Structure 1
Amino acid sequence: MNIYALTSALVTLTALCAYLNARFLRLPVTVGVVVIGLLLALLTSGLASLGLAPAREAVALLRSVKFDEVLFQGVLSFLLFAGALSLNVGALLKQQGAVLTFALVSTALSIVLVGGLVYLLLDVAGLHVSLTVALLFGAIISPTDPVAVLDLLKRARVPARLEALIAGESLFNDGVGVVAFTLIAALAFGGDHSQITGVLDVLWLFLHEAVGGVVFGAALGLLAWWLLRQVDDYLTEVLLTLAVVTGGNLLAVWLGVSGPLAMVVAGLLIGRVKERGVVSDASRPHFDAFWHLTEEVLNVGLFVLIALEAVAVGFSWRSLLLGLLCVPIVLLSRGLSVRLPMLFLRRRYEFTPFTSQVMTWGGLRGGIAVALAFSMPPGSAQTLFLVLTYVVVVFSIVVQGLSMGRLVAKVQEQETELGVKH
Structure 2
Amino acid sequence: MDIFTIISVLVFMAAIFGYINARFLNLPNSIGLMVITILFTMIVFGIGYVDDTLINAERYIISQIDFKSVLLDVMLSFLLFAGALHTNFQQLKVQRWPILVFSTLGVLVSTFLVGVSMYYVLQLVGMDISFIYCLLFGSLISPTDPIAVLGILKKAGAPKQLETKIVGESLFNDGVGVVVFLTIYKLAAAGDGVIEPLDILELFGVEVIGGLVLGLALGWGTYKLMKSIDDYDIEVIITLATVMIGTLIAQKFHLSAPLAMVAAGLVVGNDTVRMAAMSKTTETYVDKFWELLDILLNTILFVLIGMEILVLSFTLDYIVAGLIAIPLVLACRYLSLLLPIKFFEKRLDFVPKTNLVMTWGGLRGGISIALALGLTEAMHRDLFLVITYVVVVFSIIGQGLTVEKLVKRITHVPQ
TM range, normalised to the smaller chain? over 0.9
1:353 aligns with 2:352: yes
> 2:72 is matched by which residue type in structure 1?
F
Per the alignment, residue 144 of structure 1 pairs with 144
Aligned to 2:336: 337
- Look up the SS of the partner of 2:91 in the other structure: helix
1:277 counterpart SS class: helix
Distance 1:89 1:203 in 2: 30
Question: Could you say which residue in structure 2 is the equivalent of 1:420?
Answer: none
1:192-341 mapped onto 2 (5 Å cutoff)? 197-272=195-270, 273-341=272-340
State the match for 2:190 in structure 1: 190
- What amino acid does structure 1 have at the position aligned with 2:203? L
Matches within 5 A, 1:173-184: 173-184=173-184
CA contact (8 A) 2:41 2:307 kept: yes
Which runs of structure 2 are paired with 1:81-230 in the superposition (5 Å)?
A: 81-190=81-190, 197-230=195-228
CA distance in 1, matches of 2:130, 2:153: 37
Q: Distance in 1 between matches of 2:209 and 2:379?
A: 34
TM-score by length of 1: 0.94
Could you tell which deviates more after superposition, 278-287 or 51-60? 51-60
CA contact (8 A) 1:63 1:309 kept: no
Q: Is contact 2:91–2:160 with CA below 8 Å preserved after alignment? A: yes
Q: Report the TM-score when normalising by structure 2.
A: 0.96
Tell me the residue number matched to 1:14: 14
1:316 maps to a residue whose letter is: T
Return the offset for 1:399. 0.8
The structure-2 alpha-carbon separation of the partners of 1:282 and 1:23, relative to structure 1 and needing over 3 Å to count, comes to closer
Contact 1:156 1:404 in 2 (8 A): yes
- Map of 1:30 onto structure 2: 30
Q: Is the 8 A contact 2:17 2:36 kept in 1?
A: yes
Quote the Cα distance in structure 1 between the aligned partners of 2:97 and 2:230: 35
How far is 1:249 from its partner? 0.2
CA–CA distance in 2 between the matches of 1:55 and 1:331? 34
The answer to whether the aligner puts 1:79 opposite 2:79 as a matched pair is: yes
Partner of 2:381 in structure 1?
Answer: 382
Amino acid at match of 1:309: E
- The CA distance in 1 between the partners of 2:108 and 2:263, in whole Å, is 21
Q: Report deviation, 1:195.
A: 7.8
The 1:343–1:132 alpha-carbon spacing in structure 2 relative to 1, beyond 3 Å, is same
In the TM superposition, what whole-angstrom CA distance separates every residue of 1:164-203 from its partner, at most 9, and x where no partner exists?
A: 1111111000000000000000000139xx9861211111
| d(CA) in 2 for partners of 1:63, 1:157 | 39
3-state DSSP class of the match of 2:74? Answer: helix
The amino acid of 2:269's aligned partner reads: G
Alpha-carbon offset, residue 349 of structure 1: 2.5
SS of the equivalent of 1:252 reads helix
Letter in 2 for 1:410: R
User: How many residue pairs were aligned?
Assistant: 413
Task: Report the more deviating stretch, 174-183 or 353-362.
Answer: 353-362
Bigger mean CA deviation after superposition, 66-75 or 359-368: 66-75
- Ranges in structure 1 where 5+ consecutive residues have no aligned partner: 417-422
Q: Is the 8 A contact 1:81 1:245 kept in 2?
A: yes
Q: Which amino acid aligns with 1:225?
A: Y
Identity within the alignment, %: 43
Q: CA deviation at 1:103?
A: 0.5
CA distance in 1, matches of 2:375, 2:403: 31
Question: Residue 365 of structure 1: CA displacement?
Answer: 0.4
Give the SS at the match of 2:377: coil
Distance 1:274 1:196 in 2: 47
d(CA) in 2 for partners of 1:252, 1:403: 37
| RMSD over aligned Cα atoms | 1.7
In 2, are the aligned partners of 1:63 and 1:311 still within 8 Å (CA)?
no
How far does residue 16 in structure 1 lie from its aligned partner after superposition? 1.2
- Change in Cα spacing, 1:196 to 1:205, as seen in structure 2 (3 Å) is farther
Map Cα deviations across residues 316-374 of structure 1 (whole Å, 9 max, x no partner). Answer: 12211111110000110111111122222235322122211111100000010010001
Displacement of 1:64 in angstroms is 3.4
Q: CA deviation at 1:85?
A: 0.3
Asked if structure 2 preserves the Cα contact closer than 8 Å seen for 1:183 and 1:202, the reply is yes
Change (3 A) 1:173 1:196: farther
**1:362 counterpart = 2:361:** yes
Tell me if the contact between 1:221 and 1:269 (Cα under 8 Å) persists in the aligned partners: yes
The match for 2:399 is: 400
Distance 1:229 1:357, change over 3 A: same
State the shift of 1:160 in Å: 0.9
Shift of 1:93: 0.3
